[in-house]
Structure 1
Amino acid sequence: MAFSYSLFLALLLLFPGFCFWAGWRVGQWTDFLSPAPDEPNSTFTLFMIVFGTLFGHLLGTAFFAVQGVWCRITDWCFVTGFDPNIYRALLRGTAGASAVPDLAFEVWLFSMLLIGASTGVFAHWISRREAVHAKADPITFGWLAPAVAAVKRGDSFVVAYVLTKTSHDGISVAYEGTVQQIALDGDQSIKLVVLNDVDRFLVRISDAGLVRLETEATPISQLQITAAEIANVALEVVQASAEDLAAVQHLDK
């Protein structure tokens, strides 16, 4: 597809929306969980981009409106040989572009960059607000939302028991450790789990159920397990005691 002014203009106008979406996604990331990627043709993603585009342009037009009022009532403005308002320049189209100084294009594109960056920063900030992520987390994290909420409060941690596909004569290898990071796929299934302070043990499948077999092994400081190696995962949210929280806060100081 040949590049054209119309394509450039469409991407330029959508730029704040993409910045809003990027800021929102970055704001959703936590030290505990990486959210699932957006599904192709996701209506929610489309809504976020359109909403971000409208909000970004409202922010930009409000800035230029305030700038115009400020310049009329004060002397703290620079006089330029062109109109710095990019929206007025876009409405005028390419007519008379040859008469516009080179600096105008620099200022216009820089203005749109600032509008997009401001929109992304706002999206990142609002996605971190408790009132917002309390509503958005169940959509983003699904079944893991309660665990994510507990970890975000800072008074809980998650212990994972991972049964692997490595087995021999009915005995499987399993791991137990504190969850450092979990990543989800598009179906909100665990595709990656990172554990700290990991204990290894064996599990025998018998008529009576699962039997845990303890083994003599040195704990592993950190372990990464991918979905290809995971047979099953059990998560347990553990709430830390008030004494432990006070000790951690004292160390942070």
Structure 2
Amino acid sequence: MTFSYTLVLALLLLFPGLCAFAGLRSGERTDFLAPRPEKPNSTGTLFVVVSGTIAGHLAGAVLFDLQAIWCRSTGLCVPVAFDPNIYRVLLGMGHPAGAPTDGAIAWWIFFLGALGVLTGWAFARASRTAAFKRNFDPVEFGWLDPAVQAVKAGRSVIVAYVVTKTSHDGASIAFEGIVDRLALDDDQKVAMIVLSQVDRFTVTIESKGGIRRRNGGGRPIAQMQLAASEIANIAFEVLTAPPETRV
């Protein structure tokens, strides 16, 4: 595969947008909920990449404009043999004409790399703000958002009751434990769940329609993982510790 100059230049120019997407994903990651993988050709991913690219290059152009104002007003800038403003060079308005110097190439690549890193950092910080979470958490977590917000607020845990597809003589094996990690699929169904301090029990539907629970013996399981293919049903309960009273 041969890489053309146009492809390399396009990747360099898109680098701030790719960093913005990576920063956004890392910033919204939580210890409780595993983020869903992005769909191939996702319009949401494309929107973040394009928005990050525009925001990053806008910030870069503003920095060069501020630098020009500083140079004109103070005269403290040091002249160099190339135009440091890569946007002016790309638009064909830079100097000098002809082949760029080694220093020019190093500076332009360094600038685009630093711009990408700063854009990713800015998007990661923005994704952790209360305003961002207030607007995007309900979209991301859907029906699970109230429970997620309770855990984020502290002093709350989520207990899951998981009925598995493993059964014998009408009794299904089930587990009860504190939710350590949860993953949702594209339809906001539980794709994977990790429980800690897990108790075992069985659930039986009696002939008259009642449900009978029989607790299992043995010490609680320290941690276990269940995939969607093993889960028949699941229920959640949010437990909040009472506020501390001062004496």
TM-score, scaled relative to structure 2: 0.90
- Structure 2 gap ranges (5+): none
Asked whether the equivalents of residues 36 and 140 of structure 1 are also in contact (C-alpha less than 8 Å), the reply is: no
The answer to which of 66-75 and 7-16 deviates more is 66-75
Equivalent residue number for residue 42 of structure 2: 42
- How far does the alpha carbon of each residue in 1:135-193 deviate from its partner, in whole angstroms, 9 at most, with x for none? 10111111111111111112321111111111111111111111111011222221111
- How far does the alpha carbon of each residue in 1:29-77 deviate from its partner, in whole angstroms, 9 at most, with x for none? 1111012222333332222222111111111111122222233344664
Equivalent residue number for residue 242 of structure 1: 243
Asked whether the equivalents of residues 164 and 229 of structure 1 are also in contact (C-alpha less than 8 Å), the reply is: yes
* 3-state SS, counterpart of residue 242 of structure 1: coil
Residue 145 of structure 1 aligns to which amino acid in structure 2?
A: D
Asked whether the equivalents of residues 83 and 94 of structure 2 are also in contact (C-alpha less than 8 Å), the reply is: no
Alpha-carbon separation, structure 2, partners of 1:189 and 1:5: 44
Equivalent residue number for residue 251 of structure 1: none
* 2:51 is aligned with 1:65: no
* 2:225 is aligned with 1:230: no
Alpha-carbon separation, structure 1, partners of 2:185 and 2:26: 17
Equivalent residue number for residue 211 of structure 1: 212
* 3-state SS, counterpart of residue 244 of structure 2: helix
Residue 244 of structure 2 aligns to which amino acid in structure 1?
A: E
- Structure 1 gap ranges (5+): 247-253
The answer to which of 225-234 and 70-79 deviates more is 70-79
* 2:53 is aligned with 1:53: yes
Asked whether the equivalents of residues 197 and 219 of structure 1 are also in contact (C-alpha less than 8 Å), the reply is: yes
Alpha-carbon separation, structure 2, partners of 1:210 and 1:112: 63
* 2:135 is aligned with 1:135: yes
Asked whether the equivalents of residues 184 and 190 of structure 2 are also in contact (C-alpha less than 8 Å), the reply is: yes
- Cα pair distance change 1:91/1:168, threshold 3 Å: same
* 3-state SS, counterpart of residue 12 of structure 1: helix
Alpha-carbon separation, structure 2, partners of 1:214 and 1:140: 36
* 3-state SS, counterpart of residue 159 of structure 1: strand
- Cα pair distance change 1:84/1:209, threshold 3 Å: farther
- Cα pair distance change 1:82/1:215, threshold 3 Å: same
- Cα pair distance change 1:215/1:82, threshold 3 Å: same
Q: For 1:78-157, what aligned pairs fall within 5 Å after superposition?
A: 78-92=78-92, 99-157=99-157
Quick check: which one's helix share is greater? 1
Asked whether the equivalents of residues 36 and 141 of structure 1 are also in contact (C-alpha less than 8 Å), the reply is: no
Alpha-carbon distance, 1:95 to partner: 10
Alpha-carbon separation, structure 2, partners of 1:95 and 1:3: 27
Residue 134 of structure 1 aligns to which amino acid in structure 2?
A: R
Equivalent residue number for residue 184 of structure 2: 184
TM-score, scaled relative to structure 1: 0.88
Alpha-carbon separation, structure 2, partners of 1:97 and 1:236: 69
Asked whether the equivalents of residues 197 and 222 of structure 1 are also in contact (C-alpha less than 8 Å), the reply is: yes
Asked whether the equivalents of residues 194 and 225 of structure 1 are also in contact (C-alpha less than 8 Å), the reply is: yes
- How far does the alpha carbon of each residue in 1:185-216 deviate from its partner, in whole angstroms, 9 at most, with x for none? 22222111111111111111223233110121
Alpha-carbon separation, structure 1, partners of 2:230 and 2:60: 50
Residue 104 of structure 2 aligns to which amino acid in structure 1?
A: A
Residue 156 of structure 1 aligns to which amino acid in structure 2?
A: S
Q: For 1:158-197, what aligned pairs fall within 5 Å after superposition?
A: 158-197=158-197
Alpha-carbon separation, structure 1, partners of 2:203 and 2:135: 39
